[in-house]
Structure 1
Amino acid sequence: MERMQRDGEVDHLEQPSPLTDKEKVMIQDSWAKVYQNCDDVGVAILVRLFVNFPSSKQYFSDFKHIEEPEELERSVQLRKHARKVMSAINTLVESLDDSDKVASVLKLVGRAHALRHKVEPVYFKILSGLILEVLGEEFSEVVTTEVAAAWTKLLANLCCIITAVYKEVGWTKLSTATG
């Protein structure tokens, strides 16, 4: 959704088209299977984030010092945050037919991460990619190519909305650097 221009400014491409009814059903059906294992899936996603993008740990005082993936998996604080992430995704998936509810949830998430936690918005794009990776690996029988395409579209839409919330609250550093 983003492309770097010569001067380092981020060029935001247009928001993806809305999900079709068929895509919503595919996402909800696949999510039903995933959410049965929400704790393990959430932990797998966050551990992958912190291992592959160690700079993302800077926002988590409780486990930013933990280096070993096995130790991250055992962290009570990481498990709690994984549960929050999975619950938020669950609310969004359950509310795909209620655009106001989706917008409300994403506004809360975006505002909290921009204003309170000061998280660079690029981490939402990174996290989206990791969610797709983990779902595709752990649930390959459910997350077919067509289902993955629907998830990709959903996550791209969510990133666009969150980026808009960041702009709305005056976030000035729409950086793509993950240092």
Structure 2
Amino acid sequence: MTTLWFTGLPGAGKTTLARALQDSVKPRHLIILDGDELRASISADLGFSPEDRSEQARRVAALARLLNNQGVSVAVCLVSPSSTDREMARQVVGTGFVEVFVDAPLEVVEERDPKGLYAKARRGELKGLTGLDAPYEAPVAPEVHLRSAETSLQECVQELLKVLGSGSF
């Protein structure tokens, strides 16, 4: 089984891509573990400090591994700004981990701003937003590098399917 670990700035398109991929692989099984949804449930006790972000990544990686061991492929959608945390996730998940860098420039994600995070941060109402006043360490050698500002959603999904091959799910 496979764990696709989608990483990128807030608003880059991680969850949108995962949902489109999920739609294209049906009836095969792909579970999406979305960072926002997980923060409302299994990680409701965590904030956005570097330590809490590391713990969030650890918990999600452990959950992904459990699902993989049960025969379920997983798409994890987390900003996961630290390369160290993504490497830890790779070690926890083990075989089948695929890092997917959803790459979009800051000006594009600010323009998209689906949750209004960048607008709040620019007004001083939000501190520690990844890409503005909190660092994001872009992956150096991800298995998949998708440029969501330049490539259509369907082309990105096709790239994921091509990389994964028909037997990965």
Larger radius of gyration: 1
Q: Which has the higher strand share?
A: 2
**Alignment TM-score, normalising by the size of structure 2:** 0.32
Q: Which has the higher helix share?
A: 1
**Alignment TM-score, normalising by the size of structure 1:** 0.31
